[in-house]
Copies of this chain bind each other. A is one copy, B any other.
């Protein structure tokens, strides 16, 4: 049904090889012949069969994008970033979500040398042995998006969690804060761990006392933030500012604080991490760290396509996405 190069060949009175060459811009074909072929192609409304092309070339211009089984406000931005870059390079984007019926490892196996994708990008919340093993045997190029860049000798795009947390603490110190508490995220989340580490190191460097009971455990949820802060809000000696490892927990702190009639930032200041949609609109607006999510997708895709094109096969690169402090009114 769909027109093929054979039909173009017949219409233009040339061989299919010439058609193929004319369409792919081979310099050897006469401009006259090229004109003929292109006209015929336009007339027939020809679209090359991508499947056939990839198949015969033995490689695919499809970029796989493997997502973990959690939902996240930022995923659509990453997807968009990847697809935009893919498109600009003439590639397609295939999303493989993990979910109850398909684990992250299984997702990798799905793509393993079935020829569908020519490479893939994988979002890994926490690198474990299973995933690493699966990736070790992978034959197509891939890039990892992760909070952590210590993940073996793989190409990785990371957010600079550590540096950003560090930066946040130094900013607070610069504003004169000395008594700083931290609410961390889940223990099995690399982003959370690195943010905590950044906090701790920055405190050490700036001679800020780290009190154990001001090192609170959270879980990245609003309730978790509320729960955590309530543990120290009753004490006489309160911290001046609380640095929550993500905005959701920071907003949980807002609730706890405001329901006690305390004022942010006068009685106690709050900062977060992520710059989710609402943070700008919270009252007071939340000081936080903004990660350039679409750049993550873009750069991961660019690096992957370099590898797929064979343009740049140098050893694994670690790309860190710069993030920025968003200073608002909560401190």
CB distance from A281 to the nearest CB of B (A): 5
Question: With A114-B48, A281-B255 in contact, do A95 and B95 touch (Cβ < 8 Å)?
Answer: yes
Which of chain B's residues have a CB closer than 8 A to the CB of A49? 55, 114-115
CB distance from A331 to the nearest CB of B (A): 20
Is the Cβ of A97 less than 8 Å from the Cβ of B72? no
Which of chain B's residues have a CB closer than 8 A to the CB of A88? 101
User: A73 interface residue, CB < 8 Å from B?
Assistant: yes
Which of chain B's residues have a CB closer than 8 A to the CB of A116? 50-51, 92
Chain A contact residues: helix, strand, loop or mixed: mixed
Contact of A92 among B75, B94, B277 (CB under 8 A): B94
Question: With A51-B60, A258-B283 in contact, do A80 and B97 touch (Cβ < 8 Å)?
Answer: yes
Is the Cβ of B101 less than 8 Å from the Cβ of A62? no
Is the Cβ of B2 less than 8 Å from the Cβ of A113? yes
Is the Cβ of A96 less than 8 Å from the Cβ of B95? no
User: A222 interface residue, CB < 8 Å from B?
Assistant: yes
Is the Cβ of A51 less than 8 Å from the Cβ of B115? yes
User: A93 interface residue, CB < 8 Å from B?
Assistant: yes
Is the Cβ of A97 less than 8 Å from the Cβ of B83? yes
CB distance from A73 to the nearest CB of B (A): 6
Is the Cβ of A76 less than 8 Å from the Cβ of B80? no
User: A52 interface residue, CB < 8 Å from B?
Assistant: yes
Contact of A55 among B52, B73, B94, B95 (CB under 8 A): B52
- Give the interface of A toward B (CB within 8 A): 1-2, 47-52, 54-55, 60, 62, 65, 67, 71-73, 75-77, 79-80, 83-84, 87-88, 92-97, 99, 101-102, 112-116, 139, 222, 251, 255, 258, 276-278, 281, 283
Given A84-B101, A95-B95, list of 5 further CB < 8 A pairs?
A: A73-B76, A80-B97, A83-B95, A83-B96, A276-B277
